[in-house]
Amino acid sequence: MYVIFFGPPGVGKGTQALVIAERYGWAHISTGDMLRAHVKDGTALGVKAKSFMDQGLLVPDDLVIDMFLDRLGRLRADQGFVLDGFPRTLVQALALDTALASHGKAIDLAVNITAPDDVLVERMMGRAAESGRSDDTPEAIRTRLEVQKPPAELLDHYRAAGKLRDVDGQPDVETVTSAIISALGVSAASTS
């Protein structure tokens, strides 16, 4: 099964994506993790991406799409995946659709995890102390909240296809996981 997790920064989609990927044996693809690895390794992409990330801005589509498609191309054909942090724009979503369609495949479901801004700020500030992330400064956190909520046109792309499910991200981790599992439905349990 091919699943996307949407949500604003701080909503816990990374945590949930890890748990769900492990539960079903799916690949967990986090473009944030991939970009942080590039920054750490000092690759050409990492050098370009770092200034955007540190400001809380999106990394330009062409850079992220190339990196993502390369990762997608190295997946086993029979393995499902959870996308965490990609697509973040409609342009990225269309690139994803095209890549999957060329193998006769498509996204099955998009889970939109939501929470009010004050909850998100509190969580990100709480995480900042221990994350060691250079984009967990109060200013970058504010910018991420302003510019990185999934845009309406992106959610509408999946809603129009009947593939979007909303999940409340406010309760504790286990409760949110259960809500996601029921949103995924029986098909998740029976597919790879």
Mention every residue, 6+ apart, whose C-beta is less than 8 A from residue 108.
1, 2, 3, 163, 187
8-state DSSP, 89 = S
- Residue 32 as a binder of ligand ADP (CB under 6 A): the answer is yes
64 vs 184, which CB is nearer to ligand ADP?
64
| Binder among 3, 20, 29, 64 for ligand ADP (CB under 6 A) | 64
Selected range binding ligand ADP among 18-26, 80-88, 101-109, 163-171, rule: CB under 6 A: 80-88
58 vs 181, which CB is nearer to ligand ADP?
58
The tokens for 16 are: 């949930």
- Torsion of Cα atoms, 146 then 130 then 178 then 169, to 10°: -20
Burial of 124 (0-12, 13-18, 19+ CB in 10 A): buried
| Binder among 21, 24, 81, 85 for ligand ADP (CB under 6 A) | 85
**How many binding residues for ligand ADP (CB under 6 A)?**
19
Selected range binding ligand ADP among 31-39, 73-81, 93-101, 159-167, rule: CB under 6 A: 31-39
177 vs 191, which CB is nearer to ligand ADP?
177
4 to 106, 122, 142: CA distances (angstroms): 11, 25, 24
